[in-house]
Structure 1
Amino acid sequence: MELLNIDCLGRPLRLEGSMAGWQQVFWNNTLVSQQNATGNSDGHSQHSFTLTGQNANGEAQEILITLDIHLQWQPFVLDYRISVDGAPQSSGQRTTKDIERQTPQVAPAVPQKFSLVGLASLGFKLLKSAKVIKVVLAGASIAAYSWLFSFQFALALIACLMFHEYGHIRAMKYFGMKTKGIYLIPFMGGLALSDEKINTRWQDVVISIMGPTFGLLMSLFCVLLYWLTGEIFFAGLATFNALLNLFNLLPILPLDGGHILKSISFSMNSLTGLLTCVGGAAIGVYVSYTFGLALLGFLLLIGSLEIIFEWRSRHQSHLLPLDRYGQIFSTVWYLLTVCALVGVIWYFAGIGDDLLGLPLKILQS
């Protein structure tokens, strides 16, 4: 990932590195110094290299550049000092906030894999600029949910989905990202799009979890309306909206839960952190099967295995990892949201109405 990008002798000087310990220094997009992975990326390191410049008489001369850095990953703090022929030229400090606001000069390479999902994603990207696609997808979603329930319930459910996606949009705008709007997908929910890339795993967590959080707020609002009016319509809306948001929090990519748990687990730079993540997943599976939530437990197991298999490649990511506080806060936020959504479904399942008990039966199937 890009850690530093400043001016040096009128040309950009860029430092890239990872938690594995490797570092590369580029001057004017030319590699001038590198450090191999050491397994310990915290602490002091120095890069020295020579450049060919001109003296006052226009003659070529060698210029020695020294870049001293002191790096701490969790929380991220980078102190740097540049010297030219032994004379200090510039110094400064970068933190997580600086990484969030930067625009990387070199976009991270994404391996190209052939898949139906990839082809569908490519086709969607080609069409997403046309506003008519939004209208067509919204109409198809209303028709699909009307076929399952009723036209009135479909409109209300679409409103819940829009509120969920608006949570993603608000988070993107909080980080200063430009958004492309919301697209509804029949039987799949919705999709909030942005043209800009994220730089930190904290951004990934916040953007991902704000959708289900807004969805939870909508379900709680429907619960309140049910208490005030006694209308079963609001109870059904609260229940099915909770089910959709709970499904979104499953630890499977590209769902919101997959992004959240992957950011948390991949930020743990130790075997102990991975074992803690595995232990938490095992507890979740046990609780799911104890309460008869077979589908939830099975998908939780699959998603956790996916994270474990990809854990070793976490250092190859361009995203700045979460610090300890961020890992704990994100985990608590995630678990509280999941428990609250399950609580809404469980509450209405006990009322006795077949429609209200359907989401719980889906989880138990």
Structure 2
Amino acid sequence: MELLNIDCLGRPLRLEGSLAGWQQLFWDNNLVAQKNASAENEGMYTHEFEIRVQQAPTSEQITTDTDKPTPAQIHSEQELAKIFVIRLESNLRWQPFSLTYRLTVNDQLVSEGERNAKDIERQVPVTPTEAPQKFNLIGIGSLAFKLFKSAKVIKVLFGLASLAAYSWLFSFQFAVALIACLMVHEYGHIRAMHYFGMKTKGIYIIPFMGGLALSDDKINTRWQDEAISIMGPIFGLCLSLLLMLAYWITGNVFFAALANFNALINLINLLPILPLDGGHILKSIGFSVNGKFGLVALILGSVIGIVGSWTLGLSFLAFFMLIGSIEIVMEWKMRHQSHLLPLDRYGQIFSTIWYLVTVGALVAIMWYFAHSGDPILSAPMNILRS
């Protein structure tokens, strides 16, 4: 990930590093110094390199073939190639993230300062490091979709196709309500993106696949990934609570059915499977814990979730938690290739509690309606038990 990008002799000086312990220093996009991966992945470190700069001669330094150069001109010609010794001293701490730096040129202080997680969130990486993408159908579908996402008419076409498909499966009224629920969910992602100052391309409703919120900007931290991912289900949870309130006031079972089904949609989005929201959240938390403790915590948390779901008779949740957990554990070794700044200890604990409370609240809504005696309102909970 990009840790620092400052000016040095009129050219960008960029420091990149990862939790694995390696650091690379680029001057004018050329690698000039590096530190190999090691167990010592934070603390004080100094990068030093030399630059030879050719200076353009002045009119006084230019002589003809017949002119005999003076001693002063000879000295000036020797000075045309000037050597600069550049030294960057840095003190890095990962959790919570902080970086203090001091840049000197020929032992003269040029720049110094410090950076924190907020600075990383706002930066636009020059050359972000991306983990290798697996060849799969989801990746191919995502690539094909990106080719068309710039056309606004695609939004309308997808929306109409979704309305027709859901009207065929259910009814026109329920299809309109379902699309509204999906829009609220995706709007939660959009609002989170705007909070972080990210430009967005809008919301796409895709038939039988739900919705998609797109951004022009890339995220820089695990906290951004986690917050953007969970805000969709949070907005969905708030909508279900409002629909429950409407049901209690009016007694109209339509509001109850919509609140129940909306809770199921958002709960499925929180399953620990990529590219669902829950997969991004679990990766953000688990991949932020450095060392083998993070892997142990991931496995232990998955086991507790799977056994707990199975004990409560929620076989659907238990099965997909198992599949998702295996997928994320298999990607564990690739976490250091990510350019995303990890969560600090507070962020890990807060995000875990936030995730569990959201899941619990959605399950509670479905549990409440499942005991109403209405077979339609029991359907979402029966899906979890299937």
1:294 has 2:315 as partner = yes
Structure 1 stretches of at least 4 aligned residues deviating more than 6 Å after TM superposition: none
Once residues 28 and 272 of structure 1 are traced to their aligned partners in structure 2, the CA distance between those partners, rounded to angstroms, is 38
Unaligned 5+ segments in structure 2 are 56-74
Once residues 329 and 276 of structure 2 are traced to their aligned partners in structure 1, the CA distance between those partners, rounded to angstroms, is 17
For 1:107, give the aligned amino acid. P
Once residues 253 and 133 of structure 1 are traced to their aligned partners in structure 2, the CA distance between those partners, rounded to angstroms, is 24
For each residue in 1:124-147, what CA deviation from the matched residue of structure 2 results, as whole angstroms up to 9, or x when unmatched?
A: 111112222111111121222222
Q: 1:359 is matched with which residue?
A: 380
**Mean Cα displacement is larger for which, 150-159 or 321-330?**
150-159
For each residue in 1:137-179, what CA deviation from the matched residue of structure 2 results, as whole angstroms up to 9, or x when unmatched?
A: 1112122222222211111111111000000000011111111
Q: 2:62 is matched with which residue?
A: none
Structure 2 contact 98–114 (Cα < 8 Å) conserved:
yes
Q: 1:206 is matched with which residue?
A: 227
Unaligned 5+ segments in structure 1 are none
For each residue in 1:106-128, what CA deviation from the matched residue of structure 2 results, as whole angstroms up to 9, or x when unmatched?
A: 13345354332222112211111
Once residues 3 and 293 of structure 1 are traced to their aligned partners in structure 2, the CA distance between those partners, rounded to angstroms, is 44
CA distance 1:130–1:338, shift in 2 (3 Å): same
For each residue in 1:76-114, what CA deviation from the matched residue of structure 2 results, as whole angstroms up to 9, or x when unmatched?
A: 100000111222211000111111111111133453543
Partner SS, residue 103 of structure 2? strand
1:52 has 2:52 as partner = yes
For 1:133, give the aligned amino acid. I
1:6 has 2:6 as partner = yes
For 1:199, give the aligned amino acid. N
CA distance 1:284–1:321, shift in 2 (3 Å): same
Q: 1:304 is matched with which residue?
A: 325
Q: 1:16 is matched with which residue?
A: 16
Once residues 292 and 113 of structure 1 are traced to their aligned partners in structure 2, the CA distance between those partners, rounded to angstroms, is 34
Which of 117, 137, 140 is the equivalent residue of 1:96? Answer: 117
- The alignment of Structure 1 onto Structure 2 pairs a total of residues equal to 365
**How far apart are residue 273 of structure 1 and its match?**
2.5
Once residues 289 and 178 of structure 1 are traced to their aligned partners in structure 2, the CA distance between those partners, rounded to angstroms, is 41
1:245 has 2:266 as partner = yes
For 2:175, give the aligned amino acid. A
1:73 has 2:82 as partner = no
| Percent of aligned pairs sharing the same letter | 65
Q: How does 1:71-220 map to 2 (within 5 A)?
A: 71-109=92-130, 111-220=132-241
CA distance 1:124–1:161, shift in 2 (3 Å): same
Partner SS, residue 327 of structure 1? helix
Q: 2:283 is matched with which residue?
A: 262
- If the length of structure 2 is used for normalisation, what is the TM-score? 0.92
Once residues 128 and 331 of structure 2 are traced to their aligned partners in structure 1, the CA distance between those partners, rounded to angstroms, is 21
For each residue in 1:44-74, what CA deviation from the matched residue of structure 2 results, as whole angstroms up to 9, or x when unmatched?
A: 0011111113689442132111100000000
Structure 1 contact 19–40 (Cα < 8 Å) conserved:
no
Which of 299, 311, 315 is the equivalent residue of 2:336? Answer: 315
Calculate the aligned-residue CA RMSD, in Å: 1.4
Once residues 190 and 285 of structure 1 are traced to their aligned partners in structure 2, the CA distance between those partners, rounded to angstroms, is 27
For each residue in 1:165-224, what CA deviation from the matched residue of structure 2 results, as whole angstroms up to 9, or x when unmatched?
A: 000000011111111110001222100011211010100001100000000000000010
Q: 1:42 is matched with which residue?
A: 42
